[in-house]
Amino acid sequence: MAITTAYRTRSDALPLRSFKTKGRPSAIAGVGAYAPEKVITNFDLEKLMDTSDKWITERTGIHRRHIAEPGTTTLELATKAARSALDAAGITAHDLDMILVGTSSPDGPFPSIAARIQNELDAPGAVAWDTLAACTSFMYGLSIADSFIATERADNVLVIGAEVLSRMLDYSNRGTAVIFGDGAGAAVVRPAPKGAGFLSWCLGSDGRGYAQVTCGNIEKGAYAAQDPHPYIEMVGPDVFKFAVDIFIRQANEVCNTAGVALGDIDLWVPHQANFRIIDAAARRMGLPLDRVAINIDEYGNTSSASIPLALEEAVRKGRVKSGDHVLLAGFGSGLTWGACLMKWA
Ligand code: UT7
């Protein structure tokens, strides 16, 4: 049954699926990020539409967002973040066995961004493909990396989240245009010592909520083929309730599965969709905000790039140290969600 409006997250919620990691352990060995230089502030948006800095700040926590210049490709952003992650991990593109790109805003239906990054970086040994799970894409990519390393089918995996969402914004729709931004983040995943790295996962989808966040006229298959402007649309307040709920449920799930108390999380890196969503979930999880990575004020919602953008900033600022319990958690269109608990290697 399709539930297209008033999606009742609590009464209809699906049971969550969670997994303890098995096989060879893996961990994030290096992170990188890149955002375009051009910034659009809330005050700039006031001049374009019926909105205000006060409304955007109070309702979302966003002050600025980085926006790609016309003609800038998702590939360009992704490649810059990828190079930084490789440097941080101390490996070269020739070491890569796999490249996974999460994106909802590819430069075209095909070839994949991942294949083109393989070409840009010169990574001849890598199998490369894109994953599409909207804002959850980076989390799904990380889980694939962990699985391939666990089963010894890969040693070095590059996972990227990259978006030029500004191409999909209707600047006459103040409900979406003020929220999204452009950017890219990347992580290199490699084998880790026993007991370190990824400990547990919670991944899921609930297609009954497919109409909650959409882009283009999906009912007519118009995306790319005939629809000249496939704009993002969403049922904001319903997604808000789903988001708070799924953040809390996932956090509990990965902690219980790993046998780690929620209070022992040293840093939570959430998908940056709305400060109020993060704040509401953190309060109900009993996590003080000084243990939460938040940079939505600077970047807005960058979809699949938001978690690695926030993680890279946290690592760069020294907020993560070896042995810390780090929770990553996302959600997005689909509906989809994904979280993992890591012991930072
Ligand atoms: O990662 C993708 C997943 N998406 C999300 O996570 C989004 C989750 N949802 C949200 O973050 C929030 O629902 C929004 C930020 C999108 C909207 O905030 P809200 O507090 O839920 O506002 P609302 O949609 O209930 O609208 C309240 C009022 C409305 O006016 P009336 O009907 O009360 O007169 C809207 O028309 O705010 C109005 N409004 C705005 N006013 C000024 C909506 N957008 C704006 C705006 N500026 N940009």
Strand partners, 113: none
The 10 Å CB-count burial string (b at 16+, else e) for 162-197 is bbbbbbbbeeeebebbbbbbbbbbbbbbbbbeeebb
CATH of the domain spanning 196-343, picked from 3.30.56.10, 3.40.190.10, 3.40.47.10, 1.10.1750.10: 3.40.47.10
At residue 260's C-alpha, the angle toward residues 255 and 265, to 5°, is 80
pLDDT at 3: 44
DSSP 265-296: -SEEEE--S-HHHHHHHHHHHT--GGGB---H
In whole angstroms, give the CA distance from residue 293 to residue 60: 16
340 is catalytic: no
- CB neighbour list of residue 296: distance below 8 Å, 6 or more residues apart: 60, 61, 62, 272, 273, 274, 275, 278, 306
pLDDT confidence of 218, banded at 50, 70, 90?
confident
Q: Which segments of 78-182 are extended strands (E)?
A: 98-102, 127-131, 157-163
Ligand 1: which residues within 6 Å by Cβ? 51, 55-56, 59-60, 135, 174-175, 178, 213, 234, 236-237, 239-240, 243, 273-274, 301, 332
What architecture does CATH give domain 26-191? Answer: 3-Layer(aba) Sandwich (3.40)
Who has greater pLDDT, 6 or 54?
Answer: 54
Q: What is the pLDDT of residues 155-213, one digit of tens each?
A: 999 999 999 999 999 988 999 999 999 999 999 999 999 999 999 999 999 999 999 99
Catalytic residue among 42, 66, 135, 215: 135
What are the φ and ψ backbone dihedral angles of 8, each rounded to 5 degrees?
A: -90, 95
Closest residue by CA, ligand 1 atom 14: 236
pLDDT at 156: 98
Contact 186, 37 (CB under 8 A): no
Q: What is the pLDDT of residues 62-111, one digit of tens each?
A: 999 999 999 999 999 999 999 999 999 999 999 999 999 999 999 998 99
**Prior bond to 111 cis, omega within 30?**
yes
Amino acid at 65: R
325 is catalytic: no
63 is catalytic: no
Judged by DSSP in three states, 319 sits in coil
Number of alpha carbons in the 13 Å side-chain half-sphere of residue 191: 12
H/E stretch holding 186: strand 183-191
Residue with tokens 């199998």: 127
Q: What is the pLDDT of residues 224-257, one digit of tens each?
A: 556 667 899 999 999 999 999 999 999 999 999 9
**What token pair was written down for 33?**
């990020």
Cβ-based neighbour number of residue 10 at 10 Å: 8
pLDDT confidence of 217, banded at 50, 70, 90?
confident
pLDDT at 230: 81
The least confident of 137-151, 223-237, 300-314 is 223-237
Give Dmax (Cα) for the chain: 55
The 10 Å CB-count burial string (b at 16+, else e) for 32-49 is bbbbbeeebebeebbeee
The least confident of 218-232, 273-287, 292-306 is 218-232
Q: Which of 54, 58, 240 to mutate to test the pocket of ligand 1 (most atoms within 8 A of CB)?
A: 240
Residue ranges matching CATH 3.40.47.10 in the chain: 26-191, 196-343
**What token pair was written down for 7?**
């999606």
Closest residue by CA, ligand 1 atom 39: 175
